[in-house]
């Protein structure tokens, strides 16, 4: 009888993690289910959804006859994710807590708990994603000690594990995993890698997990649920009223409770306006939020952005990018948006300039620019600066033409 591998599976009380645990058990592993509590609260109807989810996870573990633990990361979530989120909103950005939660909680604190405290050979989650490793290779990772020196030996042959899209492209969750560390990825199994959501639901039904199948898919902010966002954020940040200002003529259209309650591209609720206006920019010094009439106004479209220091899943940037400072790949900044071809330029400080093949609507500072090469998710960087909008470029061209006409100069042909 060979060695039975011990795998700790993160259990959320949902269908995906329940089926992940079922598959691991069927593969003959020694499975422990662990529920993470990351947020203390009642939902708007006064029910603590965390308690309900924990009970659901426990029932699944009972059905599978596997041990169940629960662990609290409420303090860590507050420090590593939520306080960061509030700071970002105060800077006028729109953060992505789901990406931060995976980076700091699930693939950091929980990973260490699974491997070091519970002594597991690997951890597993119910994400729709894949890595370049077979299960056996994952288990070998726990028995090779990584060098503890600050700098790796330059000649150490490293074969980084790749993060790749899951088979169900409609459900692929690599976007949310784009900030995780190589060390955690090397010790992670994704049992749902080759499955579609439909098949996973079918397996859950056959296994008798009816209580988790009845649940709605959670779509709200990670662990905050589907509450009214403006009310929620105003519980933590002081209202900072300001004006809605037209980007076209500078007229004041109405007032808002704080720029942090609004994100680029969303419809601005402005009393007394019969047409829809959309948020196109913010000035956090004056508190003005700029709006434009129509959902596809040119002020909403941009084709360049700069990130902060980019996080590469492989730890280091791709060789071709280091060699030439430029690389072609694909970009998205919203989960499930269509991938857009782009060219990236590597800056000296590790940040990237990303130039898109076409302008996209509502590129948003604070969101993550996630890059792909084929099926591989290369990593992500937080967008901290935007290039000019189509509207700004249009205005610039009009000014140039007007100046030239005034001075009787020839007008250059933009196509030339």
Question: pLDDT, tens digit, for every residue of 278-304?
Answer: 999 999 999 999 999 999 999 999 999
Q: Do 312 and 289 share a domain, yes or no?
A: no
Whether 344 contacts 321, CB under 8 Å: yes
Quote the pLDDT of residue 4: 82
Q: Do 285 and 313 share a domain, yes or no?
A: no
Quote the pLDDT of residue 233: 87
Mean pLDDT, residues 58-87: 95
Q: Tell me the per-residue pLDDT of 303-343, one tens digit each, with 9 for 90 and over.
A: 999 999 999 999 999 999 999 999 999 999 999 899 999 99
DSSP symbol at 300: G
Q: Do 312 and 286 share a domain, yes or no?
A: no
For the packed helices 15-26 and 49-64, what is the interaxial angle rounded to 10 degrees? 20
Decide if 342 is catalytic: no
Residue at 219 is within a domain: no
Q: Do the bridges between strand 129-131 and strand 30-37 make them parallel or antiparallel, or are there none, so unpaired?
A: unpaired
pLDDT above 80 (res 158): no
**CATH label of the domain that carries residue 341:** 2.40.30.10
Q: Do 345 and 255 share a domain, yes or no?
A: no
User: Which of 38-47, 196-205, 349-358 is predicted least confidently?
Assistant: 38-47
Distance, in Å, from the CA atom of 267 to the CA atom of 300, rounded to the nearest integer, reads 12
DSSP symbol at 176: G
Q: How far is CA 95 from the centre of its chain?
A: 9
Q: How high is the mean pLDDT of the chain?
A: 90
Residue at 88 is within a domain: yes
Residue at 337 is within a domain: yes
Which residue segment(s) compose the domain that 80 sits in?
6-135+159-214
Residue at 207 is within a domain: yes
Quote the pLDDT of residue 3: 76
Residue at 148 is within a domain: no
pLDDT band at 156 (very low <50, low <70, confident <90, very high): very low
Distance, in Å, from the CA atom of 191 to the CA atom of 180, rounded to the nearest integer, reads 18
Quote the pLDDT of residue 154: 46
Q: Tell me the per-residue pLDDT of 246-267, one tens digit each, with 9 for 90 and over.
A: 999 999 999 999 999 999 999 9
Q: Do 383 and 281 share a domain, yes or no?
A: no
Decide if 9 is catalytic: no
Mean pLDDT, residues 101-127: 97
Q: Do 61 and 115 share a domain, yes or no?
A: yes
Quote the pLDDT of residue 285: 93
Of the CA atoms within 13 Å of residue 24, those in its CB half-sphere come to 34
Whether 60 contacts 20, CB under 8 Å: no
Residue at 269 is within a domain: yes
DSSP H or E stretch at residue 189: strand 188-189
Quote the pLDDT of residue 100: 95
**CATH label of the domain that carries residue 285:** 2.30.30.280
Q: Do 95 and 191 share a domain, yes or no?
A: yes
Q: Do 111 and 243 share a domain, yes or no?
A: no
**CATH label of the domain that carries residue 207:** 3.40.50.620
Q: In total, how many domains does the chain have? A: 3
Query: What is the per-residue DSSP string for 232-296?
Result: HHTTTS----EEEEETTT--EEEEES-GGG--TTSEE--TT-SS-EEEEEEETTTTEEEEEESTT
Q: Do 317 and 272 share a domain, yes or no?
A: no
Q: Do 62 and 171 share a domain, yes or no?
A: yes
pTM of the predicted protein model: 0.91
Quote the pLDDT of residue 144: 53
Both structure tokens of 379: 């990593």
Which of the residues 54, 61, 101, 377 is marked catalytic?
Answer: 101
Q: Do 68 and 191 share a domain, yes or no?
A: yes
Which of the residues 9, 61, 222, 342 is marked catalytic?
Answer: 222
Quote the pLDDT of residue 201: 96
DSSP symbol at 340: E
Q: Tell me the per-residue pLDDT of 214-256, one tens digit each, with 9 for 90 and over.
A: 887 765 565 556 667 888 888 899 999 999 999 999 999 999 9
Distance, in Å, from the CA atom of 372 to the CA atom of 339, rounded to the nearest integer, reads 8
pLDDT above 90 (res 414): no
Distance, in Å, from the CA atom of 195 to the CA atom of 192, rounded to the nearest integer, reads 5
Q: Do 271 and 311 share a domain, yes or no?
A: no
Residue at 194 is within a domain: yes
> CB atoms < 10 A from the CB of 349, how many?
8
Residue at 234 is within a domain: no
DSSP symbol at 297: -
């Amino acid at each position: 009888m060979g060695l039975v591998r011990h795998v700790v599976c993160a259990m959320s009380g949902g269908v995906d993690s329940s089926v992940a645990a079922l598959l691991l058990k069927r593969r003959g592993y020694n499975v422990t289910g662990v529920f993470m509590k990351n947020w203390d609260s009642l939902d708007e109807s006064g029910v603590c959804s965390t308690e309900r989810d924990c009970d659901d996870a426990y029932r699944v573990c009972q059905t599978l006859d596997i041990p169940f633990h629960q662990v609290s990361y409420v303090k860590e979530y507050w420090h590593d994710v939520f306080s960061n989120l509030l700071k970002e909103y105060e800077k006028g950005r729109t953060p992505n807590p789901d990406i931060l939660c995976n980076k700091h909680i699930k693939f950091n604190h929980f990973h260490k708990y699974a491997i070091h405290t519970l002594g597991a050979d690997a951890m597993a989650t119910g994400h729709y994603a894949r890595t370049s490793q077979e299960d056996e290779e994952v288990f070998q990772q726990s028995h090779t000690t990584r060098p503890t020196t600050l700098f790796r030996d330059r000649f150490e042959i490293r074969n980084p594990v790749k993060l790749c899209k899951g088979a169900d492209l409609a459900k692929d969750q690599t976007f949310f995993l784009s900030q995780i560390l190589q060390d955690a990825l090397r010790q992670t199994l994704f049992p749902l890698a080759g499955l579609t959501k439909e098949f996973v639901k079918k397996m859950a039904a056959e296994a008798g997990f009816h209580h988790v199948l009845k649940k709605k898919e959670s779509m709200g902010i990670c662990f905050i649920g589907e509450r009214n966002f403006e009310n929620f954020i105003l519980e933590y940040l002081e209202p900072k009223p300001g004006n809605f200002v037209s980007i076209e003529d500078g007229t004041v259209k109405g007032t808002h409770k704080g720029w942090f309650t609004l994100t680029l591209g969303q419809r601005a609720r402005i009393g007394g306006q019969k047409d829809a206006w959309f948020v196109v920019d913010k000035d956090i010094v004056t508190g003005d939020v700029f709006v434009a009439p129509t959902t596809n106004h040119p002020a909403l479209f941009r084709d360049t952005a700069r990130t902060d220091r980019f996080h590469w899943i492989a730890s280091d940037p791709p060789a071709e990018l280091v060699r030439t400072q430029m690389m072609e790949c694909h970009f998205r900044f919203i989960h499930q948006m269509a991938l857009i071809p782009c060219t990236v330029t590597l800056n000296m400080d590790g940040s990237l300039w990303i130039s898109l093949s076409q302008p996209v609507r509502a590129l948003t500072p604070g969101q993550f620019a996630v890059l792909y090469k084929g099926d591989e998710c290369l990593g992500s960087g937080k967008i901290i600066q935007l290039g000019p909008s189509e509207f700004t470029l249009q205005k610039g061209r009009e000014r140039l033409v007007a100046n030239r006409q005034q001075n009787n100069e020839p007008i250059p042909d933009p196509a030339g």
